[in-house]
Structure 1
Amino acid sequence: MSIFSIGVSGLNAAQVALSTTSNNITNVYTDGYNRQVTLLGENNLGNGVQSNGVQRQFSLFVATQLNQSTSNSSALQAYETQITQIDNLLADSEAGLSPLLQSFFSSLQDLASAPSDPAARQGLIGTADTLTAQFRAFDDYLNDMQQGVNGQIEDVVFQINNTAEQIAMLNREIGLAKAKTGTVPNSLLDQRDQLVAELSGMVDVDLTIQDGGSYNISIGNGQALVSGTKSFALEAMASSADPTRTVVGYRDGAGNLREFSETAFEGGELGGLMTFRRETLDKTQNQLGQLAVSLAQGFNAQHMAGVDYEGNPGQAFFATTQPTVYSNANNTSNAYLEAEFLADVSGLTASDYTVKYTAADGYMVTRNDTGEVVETFAAGASSLEFGGMSVTVNGTPAEGDRFLVQPTKRAAGGLENLIQDTSLIAAGQDDGSGTGSGDNRNALALQNLQNSALVGGVATLSQAYASIVGDVGNRANVVQVNLAAQQGLTEQLRALQQSESGVNLDEEAANLIRFQQYYQASAKIIEVGATVLDTLLGLDA
C-alpha cells in the first residue's frame, strides 16, 4: 500500500472518530443515549488503519440491576404517595374521629346530669349527627381513593401496552437494519433499552435475549408481554370476585380473558398501587367499618334496653349497612348469599372472607387477610355463622363456586343517626312508673360504653381508632424509610451506569482535539507523500 493510501486510511479513520465524538457531545442530554466509541484496527498486514465499527458503551448487567432498582423505587413511590394521604387524613387532630368520639360521650355525660333537659338531649343528637357525618366523609374519601386506584391502574396498563408495542416494533427494525447493512444500529438499540427502562418503572419485568439479539419480556407469573416482533396487550378488567375492583388480565391463545392474581405484581407503579390497595387501603376501610358497626351495634343494644322520655322502650339509635356479598363472575350456578350482622358482633373482624363450595368439603370459609380457613360447614347447610355474621344460602351452589363476603367494607358509609326527636332518647330505665323523664340510669350506662371493649371484644372505640391511626402511621414510616433507601441504591446504580455509558463533556472535548490532531497528522502524511513524489519526478526530469 502506498504512502497516499496509508494517509487516506488515517483521514477516513479520523473522520469516523470525529463523527462519533461529535455525536456523543450533541447527545449529552438525550435520555437513554449510551456513549459510543470508534473501534480502530490495523489494515491488511500493517498497511494503514481501518474502522472496525462504532461500539456503544452498554453494560446489560448494570442496566438490569438499575431497571430492577427503578422498578422497586417506582413501586414504593406509588405506595408512599397514596398512604401519605390516608395518614394525613386520619392523624389530623381537628378533622379526625378522636375529638368527635370524645364530644359524643361528653354529651352523654351532660345528658346523664340533666336527663330531662331538652338542650342536653338536643346536644346528644347534634354530636351524633356530627360523628356519623364524619364517618361517612371518611368512607367517601377512602372510596374515592379506591376509584382513583382503579383509574390509575387503567392508565398504567395503557402505558405498558404502548411501550411493549414500541419494543416489539424496535425488535423488528433492529433485525431488518442488521440484515440490510450488516452493522449494529446503535441508535435503535438505545431507544429499545430506554423503553425497557421506562417499562421497568411501570411494572416488574423479566428480560431475556434471543440468539439474534431480539428482546423477550415477560411479567407477572411469566406471561409474555413481548416476544420478538410481537407484543401481547394487557387489559384492565373488573375483578371476578369484586366487580368494583379493577385488576389486570390478558387474552390467552384461545382469546379467553385470564385474570392475574393481584399478588402477581410487586414492582413498578402497577405493583405499588396494587400492594397499597391490598395492604393499606382495604384494611383501613375495613377497620373504619368495623369501628362503625361496633359503635352502632353496641350503642343500639344499650339504648334499646332503656326507656325514652315517655317511658316507651328505646329504639335503635344508629343505622349502618349490612355486609356486602358478591358471587364470583366465574360461578356456574345462580346461587347467592345474603349476610347480616349478629346481635353480638364481638367476633367481627376487619377482614373480607371467601366462601368456597365443593360437594366434598361443603362450605369452606377463608379469611382473606391471613389466608386461614376459619370455618367449614356441611354441603347441605342453609345458614352459615362466622365473623359476627349470619349468612344465608339461597339456591344450590355448583362445584367450585366462590363468594366474597365483605362485612365492613362500606359500613362506615352507611352509619347515620336515626333519632332526631329528643323525646325518643332512652336515657332512663324501666322502673314500672311508665316514665323516664327524670331517670338517668341508661344514660350513665350509655356513657360507660366509652370504656367498654366494643370492638372485637378487646378494644374500646377510642383504642380501636388509635390503633388504626398508629397502624397507618407506622406503615407510612416504613414505606418512607424503604423508599429513601431504595432511591439511594437507584442513584448509586445510575451513577455506575453513567460512569460507563454516560457522556463526559470534558472527556469528549479532549477526544475532539485528539482526533483533530490525528486528522491533521494523517493529512501531513499525504503532504509528505506528495513532496516525495514531486522530488522523484524532478529527479527523473
Structure 2
Amino acid sequence: MSIAAAISNAMSGLGATARGTETVAGNIANVMTPGYARRQVTLSANTLGGGVRIDGIARIVNATLVSEVRLAASSIGEGATRTVFHQRMEAVVGLPGGATSLSSALTNLQTALSAAATRPDDELRLAQVVSAADLLGRRLNDASDAVQSARSTAQRAIQSEVAELNTSLERVATLNTRIAILDSDGRDATPLMDERQRLIDRIAPIVPIQEVTREQGKVALFTIEGAVLLDGSLPARLDFAGADHVAAGQLVGAPLQLLTLNGTALTAGQMRLFSGGSLSANFQIRDVLAPQMQSELDDLAFDLHQRLADPLVDPTLTPAGTGLFTDAGARADAAGTVGLAGRITLNTAVDPSQGGQLWRLRSGLEALPGGPVGQSDILLAFAQALDSSQPAPAGSGFTGTEGLATRFGVIESRVASRRVDAQSELANRNARQSTVMSSLMSDGVDSDAEMQRLLHYEQSYAANARVLMAVDDMINQILRM
C-alpha cells in the first residue's frame, strides 16, 4: 500500500468516526424526544480508492411497534372521551343514596309530604313540600341541561378535531414533498421524518391510522377502516358543519350533520371509516349516549308528572288540568316527552313566590278557596302516588310495576355501572399502551448501547490516528535520508 493510499484510508476512517460520534451524541441527547428515531451511520467499503464511504444516516424504526402505539393511542382517545362523559353523567344524576342524587331529592319530597299530611294546617310544612318539589324539578332540569351540554361539548370537539386533522394532514403532505427533495439530492432528511412522525402521532388519538411507506421517503396515511387520508401530494379534506349548541330532540339530519370527506357527505354506515378514536367517541356521545341518557331522564320526569296529575290523586283536577308538576306550565303529553326533564317545573299555583297559595296543596290544585285547614287526604294521596307500584308509562324505557323511587334508583344504578365499565375498559387500554410503549422505548435509543458504540468509535479513531502517525514517521525518515 502506498503512503497516499494509507493517508486516504485513515482520513476516510476519521471522517466516518466523526460522523458516527456525532450520531451517537444526537441519539443520547434525544433519548426522550417524542418522535425521535435512533440514527445509525451506514458505511461501505470504497472499492476504488480504499477506505470506507459514508452511505448515509439510517433512521432505525420498528414500524410494527410504532403502529401498535398509535392504535393504542386511538383506543385511549376513544375510551377517555367516553369515560369523561359517563363521569359527568354520574356527577349530575348522583349515586343511589347520595346526598345530591335525584333519588334523594325524591325522598325529601316524599318525607315533606308525609310530614305535611300530619299537620296540613302548618304552612311551614306546606312550604317545605313546595321547596322539596321545586328542588326535585330543578335537579331534573340540571341533569337534562348537563346532557345537552355534553352533546354541545362533543359537537365543538368534533369541529376542533376535524380542524386538527386537516391541518396535520396538510403539514404531513408538505413534509413528504420536502423529504422527497432532500432524498433526491442525497441529503439527510431524518429531522423532517421525526417531525412527520410527531404529526402523525398527533392524528392517532383522533382517528386510528396506519402508515404505508412510499418511494423517496414519502408515506401514505389511511384510517384503520380504509379511508384514504393522504396518498400523494394532496391530503383528503374533511369538513363538518353545525351549531355550537345542541338541543334535546335534535337528531342526525334534523339538523345535526355527519362528516364530509372531499366534498361528499358520509352516511351513517360510512362513518365507520373513522371509528375507533376520540372523533368517533364524540359522535357517539352526541348521537347515541347522550340521547339515551336524556330519554331515561324524560321517562322519570313523565312518570313523576303522571303520578301527581291523576284526578284519582287530586279530585279537583280537570282532564286538561295540570298537576303538581307541569311541562313548562302545561300538562305533559306522552307524545311530547322528549326534553321533558329539562322543562318540568313546579306548578305555580302552589308556589307563593310566583303568586300561588300553599293551601292548594291540602285542598287541591284547582280547588276553590275556603277548604278545611285540617284536610290531609290530597297530601296523603300525593305521598302514596309516589310510593305506590304502578305500571310503566306506555312508550317509556321502564318495564314492570314499580314505585317511583325504584325507577329513580334503576337509572342511577345504570349510570354508575356505565361509568365503572368505561373506567375499567380505559384502565385495560392504558395497560396495553404501557406495554407497547415499553417495547418501543426498549427498541429505541439505548444509552448503554450508545456508550458502547461511542467506545468503538473511540477505538477506531485511535487506530486511524496511529496510521497517520506512522505515515508521518515514515515521511520524516524519508526526508532525513
TM-score by length of 1: 0.75
Please say if 1:411 is aligned against 2:340: yes
Please say if 1:162 is aligned against 2:105: no
Q: Which residue of 2 aligns with 1:105?
A: 110
Tell me the amino acid that sits aligned with residue 132 of structure 2: T
Q: Which residue of 1 aligns with 2:354?
A: none
Q: Which residue of 1 aligns with 2:420?
A: 477
Rate the CA distance shift 1:245–1:105 in 2: closer, same or farther, 3 A. Answer: farther
Tell me the amino acid that sits aligned with residue 486 of structure 1: R
Q: Which residue of 1 aligns with 2:384?
A: 448
Please say if 1:96 is aligned against 2:33: no
Query: How far apart are residue 307 of structure 1 and its match?
Result: 3.0
CA distance in 2, matches of 1:276, 1:506: 47
- 1:35-74 pair list within 5 angstroms: 35-44=38-47, 47-74=50-77
Query: How far apart are residue 287 of structure 1 and its match?
Result: 0.8
Query: RMSD value over aligned CA atoms?
Result: 3.3
Q: Which residue of 1 aligns with 2:37?
A: 34
Unaligned runs of 5+ in 1: 324-339, 343-388, 390-406
Q: Which residue of 2 aligns with 1:316?
A: 323
Contact 2:45–2:51 under 8 Å retained in 1:
yes
Contact 1:302–1:446 under 8 Å retained in 2:
no
Q: Which residue of 2 aligns with 1:133?
A: 138
Q: Which residue of 1 aligns with 2:19?
A: 16
More strand by share: 1
- 1:112-511 pair list within 5 angstroms: 112-115=117-120, 117-181=122-186, 185-219=189-223, 222-238=226-242, 241-242=251-252, 247-252=257-262, 255-258=263-266, 264-278=273-287, 280-302=289-311, 305-307=314-316, 315-320=322-327, 341-342=333-334, 389=335, 408-418=337-347, 419-420=349-350, 421-425=357-361, 439-449=375-385, 450-453=387-390, 455=392, 456=398, 458=400, 459-501=402-444, 503-511=445-453
Tell me the amino acid that sits aligned with residue 191 of structure 1: E
Give the share of equivalent positions with the same residue, in percent: 21
CA distance in 2, matches of 1:314, 1:154: 45
CA distance in 2, matches of 1:186, 1:313: 76
CA distance in 2, matches of 1:210, 1:315: 70
Contact 2:313–2:378 under 8 Å retained in 1:
no
Rate the CA distance shift 1:236–1:163 in 2: closer, same or farther, 3 A. Answer: same
Tell me the amino acid that sits aligned with residue 413 of structure 1: G
Rate the CA distance shift 1:115–1:488 in 2: closer, same or farther, 3 A. Answer: same
Tell me the amino acid that sits aligned with residue 32 of structure 1: G
Rate the CA distance shift 1:193–1:230 in 2: closer, same or farther, 3 A. Answer: same
Contact 1:250–1:259 under 8 Å retained in 2:
no
Contact 1:202–1:269 under 8 Å retained in 2:
yes
Contact 2:311–2:319 under 8 Å retained in 1:
no
Contact 1:298–1:454 under 8 Å retained in 2:
no
Query: How far apart are residue 251 of structure 1 and its match?
Result: 4.5
The alignment partner of 1:201 has SS state of coil
CA distance in 2, matches of 1:322, 1:111: 24
Query: How far apart are residue 423 of structure 1 and its match?
Result: 3.8
Contact 2:362–2:375 under 8 Å retained in 1:
no
The number of equivalent residue pairs is 451
Query: How far apart are residue 235 of structure 1 and its match?
Result: 2.0
Contact 2:39–2:60 under 8 Å retained in 1:
yes
- CA deviations 1:204-243 (Å, max 9, x no partner) are 2243333554322233864332222212232232399447
Query: How far apart are residue 512 of structure 1 and its match?
Result: 2.7
Rate the CA distance shift 1:321–1:314 in 2: closer, same or farther, 3 A. Answer: closer
Of the three residues 82, 86, 90, the one matched with 1:83 is: 86
CA distance in 2, matches of 1:212, 1:312: 79
Rate the CA distance shift 1:514–1:206 in 2: closer, same or farther, 3 A. Answer: closer
TM-score by length of 2: 0.83
The alignment partner of 1:230 has SS state of coil
Contact 1:40–1:52 under 8 Å retained in 2:
yes
- CA deviations 1:273-299 (Å, max 9, x no partner) are 333445543222221111001111222
Tell me the amino acid that sits aligned with residue 301 of structure 2: A
The alignment partner of 1:38 has SS state of strand
Query: How far apart are residue 50 of structure 1 and its match?
Result: 2.1
Contact 1:287–1:408 under 8 Å retained in 2:
no
Rate the CA distance shift 1:63–1:137 in 2: closer, same or farther, 3 A. Answer: same
Query: How far apart are residue 494 of structure 1 and its match?
Result: 1.2
Query: How far apart are residue 445 of structure 1 and its match?
Result: 3.1
Rate the CA distance shift 1:454–1:36 in 2: closer, same or farther, 3 A. Answer: same
Rate the CA distance shift 1:123–1:497 in 2: closer, same or farther, 3 A. Answer: closer
Contact 1:286–1:409 under 8 Å retained in 2:
yes
CA distance in 2, matches of 1:266, 1:191: 26
- CA deviations 1:468-521 (Å, max 9, x no partner) are 2211211211221221221111111111112222x2333333333331331232
Q: Which residue of 2 aligns with 1:380?
A: none
Contact 1:111–1:427 under 8 Å retained in 2:
no
More helix by share: 2
CA distance in 1, matches of 2:372, 2:252: 48
Rate the CA distance shift 1:210–1:5 in 2: closer, same or farther, 3 A. Answer: closer
Tell me the amino acid that sits aligned with residue 180 of structure 1: D
Contact 1:217–1:227 under 8 Å retained in 2:
yes
Query: How far apart are residue 435 of structure 1 and its match?
Result: 6.1
Query: How far apart are residue 150 of structure 1 and its match?
Result: 1.7
CA distance in 2, matches of 1:471, 1:315: 31
Unaligned runs of 5+ in 2: 244-249, 351-356, 393-397
CA distance in 2, matches of 1:215, 1:303: 73
CA distance in 1, matches of 2:20, 2:76: 38
Contact 2:82–2:422 under 8 Å retained in 1:
yes
Contact 2:183–2:217 under 8 Å retained in 1:
no
Contact 1:17–1:38 under 8 Å retained in 2:
yes
The alignment partner of 2:470 has SS state of helix
Query: How far apart are residue 426 of structure 1 and its match?
Result: 6.3
Contact 1:153–1:246 under 8 Å retained in 2:
no
The alignment partner of 1:231 has SS state of coil
Tell me the amino acid that sits aligned with residue 326 of structure 2: A
The alignment partner of 1:50 has SS state of strand
- CA deviations 1:351-381 (Å, max 9, x no partner) are xxxxxxxxxxxxxxxxxxxxxxxxxxxxxxx
- 1:524-539 pair list within 5 angstroms: 524-536=466-478, 538=480
Contact 1:305–1:314 under 8 Å retained in 2:
no
Contact 2:225–2:272 under 8 Å retained in 1:
no
Q: Which residue of 1 aligns with 2:246?
A: none
Contact 2:207–2:276 under 8 Å retained in 1:
yes
CA distance in 1, matches of 2:456, 2:256: 59
The alignment partner of 2:204 has SS state of helix
Tell me the amino acid that sits aligned with residue 416 of structure 1: T
Query: How far apart are residue 305 of structure 1 and its match?
Result: 4.8
